[in-house]
Structure 1
Amino acid sequence: MMGKIKLILVDDHPLVITGIKAMLEDSTEFEIIGDANDGEQALALVKNIVPDLLVLDIRMPKLTGIEVVQKLKAQGSSIKTLLLSMHDSEEYVLNSIKAGADGYLLKGATKEEIIKAFRIIANGGKFFTGEVSSSIISTIMHQKPLQPKNDFNLTKRELQILNLVLQGMSNQEIADGLEISKRTAEVHRFNLMKKMDVKNPVELANKAREYQLA
């Protein structure tokens, strides 16, 4: 990475921000380009200035650090994120990874570990506190995608039809693609919507996403 690594710090405890600023005051490697006190401020800030790394407290008012990460990912943002926490529980770490965070670090970490985390994540790597089992991190990072929840007892064919409907295909196009009659496609589509208790494609799409079927 050319030039200084640009950081934005977000924490509802001013002492944390002040402490990190003091730590990096004479740094030739890092530059703090902004700070915020809650998750909503953080999202507003990164719309105007884009850091190489966004450092977030995991527990904040309005929006938590994890919620900020989730919103950035949903927006397609490529900003690297590191969550700071007082907690070394596996649940916090796993939720951070699932949200898409690039790192998780305890607030009690040494200066050397903090700088190492900043450097690794800003340059495209991952960094998770050594207090957490590396085997758990490895499992989450490489796990197979979750299988869709099939709470509506849809058949394999109905799941297939659902996927095609969500692509905007008509009954005739579904019939042609699956080499079945148009009438059969209509019946499958009717049964699918009845099982999922929806009345139109918009409701179908929304419920499919809600239940991780799309």
Structure 2
Amino acid sequence: MKYAIIALLLLFTTACENQEKQKEDVLTEIPTTPPSKSVEGEIPLKIQSLGDVKQAYEKTNLDITHNRYTSSSFTYNCNGERGGTVTYYLNDNKLRLIEHAYNEYSHNEAVDRYYVLNNQPYFIFYKHTTWQFDGEAEEEEGATKDDISEKRYYLINNSLTECLEKKYTTRSTGKATDPDGIGNKTVSCPPVNELLEDFTKLYENKDTRGKLECL
């Protein structure tokens, strides 16, 4: 009887140890960084913090990636000097994003994105590119380089709360540049009315279709 009890105790102890080990193995598989709320949550009803900006921004990008929004667009060409496409993304007839992709002459191109909630922008992203022939690439004729500037503007109640900038150069030859490896720098914010003036112009054309001469 004594040996039977000891055997049962040993069996119980082994089972407990195995259970604890399994629990530890499971815990090691859980990521230390929690998943973004925007992936599982919804766009906030109102932007009140930088956290709300991030959540709404990520959720909008996710929905667009999965084709959950409807879209409409128009194009324009202003005397061959500047031309582009303006695209509006909507969710349940609510405007979520305005994307303005355009070029000026042949060496400048840009993409401006206005993330919108309650018909007001809460995050603005500019990516402007100027390209030219790369005089430093002696080994390959016709090599080019792109000088790229990215700007990020965070707004709460139509007031700028943070402004960031990133500049880098990519080349058609040599080692590729990883933009994600370059940090953003905090910069002085421009007058908010300048940003809202461009946004308002695009917003007022949200029902435009087809092709225009000048925007």
**TM-score by structure 2 length?**
0.24
Comparing both structures, which one devotes a greater share of its residues to helix? 1
